[in-house]
Amino acid sequence: MAKNAEEAERGLCARFVAFDESSPEIAACINLWNIRRGVNQAAILGYSVDSSRLGRGYATEAARAVVRYAFDELRLHRLETSYHPENAASGRVLRKLGFSVEGYARDYLRIAGEWRDAILVGLINGAWTE
Ligand SMILES: CC(C)(COP(=O)(O)OP(=O)(O)OC[C@H]1O[C@@H](n2cnc3c(N)ncnc32)[C@H](O)[C@@H]1OP(=O)(O)O)[C@@H](O)C(=O)NCCC(=O)NCCS
């Protein structure tokens, strides 16, 4: 079994794709990674939009639906993610979803062989109940 499928089966991740009404092509991918239960009840949110469909609100709409799923269906208490300081569009998406900045991490992710800084953000499920 592929690693992602195996992790999904074990409840460690959940992957989603979004379509627009006019095309069978995938418009956006949204993922919940590293789902932690126990004392955390948290996951990492990730998303990307097809490069020909940027700036139409797709990331915001699709990620908002996944946040709702994470809180209402998976009953997670917290979502977190990060974005590169120069990725203003991603920062804006996260602000629109209600995430707040929690920190700045130096050399946080190694992308294409280079360590990159990241802005750390989080969102709490204010309606969480046990
Ligand atoms: C980041 C990304 C997901 C945004 O997707 P999108 O569908 O274009 O996002 P939306 O249209 O929902 O919202 C983008 C917002 O950023 C704003 N924006 C875009 N470029 C911007 C820039 N250079 N500076 C400031 N704001 C910017 C838009 O105006 C919009 O805000 P608004 O609704 O207030 O006008 C997309 O660019 C992408 O897939 N990037 C590559 C993968 C990635 O970076 N994923 C996130 C990892 S943290």
Mean of pLDDT values over 60-75: 98
Domain parsing of the chain, residue ranges: 3-124
Residue of 32, 44, 49 with the most ligand 1 atoms within 8 Å of its CB, for mutation: 49
| CB neighbour burial string for 23-49, b if at least 16 within 10 angstroms, e if fewer | eeeebbebbbeebeeeeebbbebbbeb
What amino acid is encoded at 13 in this protein?
C
Q: Is 31 in the pocket of ligand 1 (CB under 6 A)?
A: no
- Confirm or reject: Cβ of 90 under 6 Å from ligand 1: yes
Q: Domain 3-124 has what CATH class?
A: alpha beta
**pTM (predicted TM-score):** 0.94
A 10 A CB-CB count for 82 gives 23
Give 5: exposed, middle or buried? Use CB within 10 Å, 0-12, 13-18, 19+: exposed
> Alpha-carbon distance 7 to 57, whole Å?
29
User: 12: CA distance to ligand 1 center in Å?
Assistant: 27
> Percent of the chain at pLDDT above 90?
90
> Mean pLDDT, to the nearest integer, of 71-96?
98
Q: Which two tokens stand for residue 16?
A: 């989603």
Does 105 contact ligand 1 (Cβ within 6 A)?
no
CB neighbours of residue 122 within 10 Å: 17
| Confidence at 103, pLDDT banded by 50, 70, 90 | very high
63 Cβ closer than 6 Å to some ligand 1 atom: no
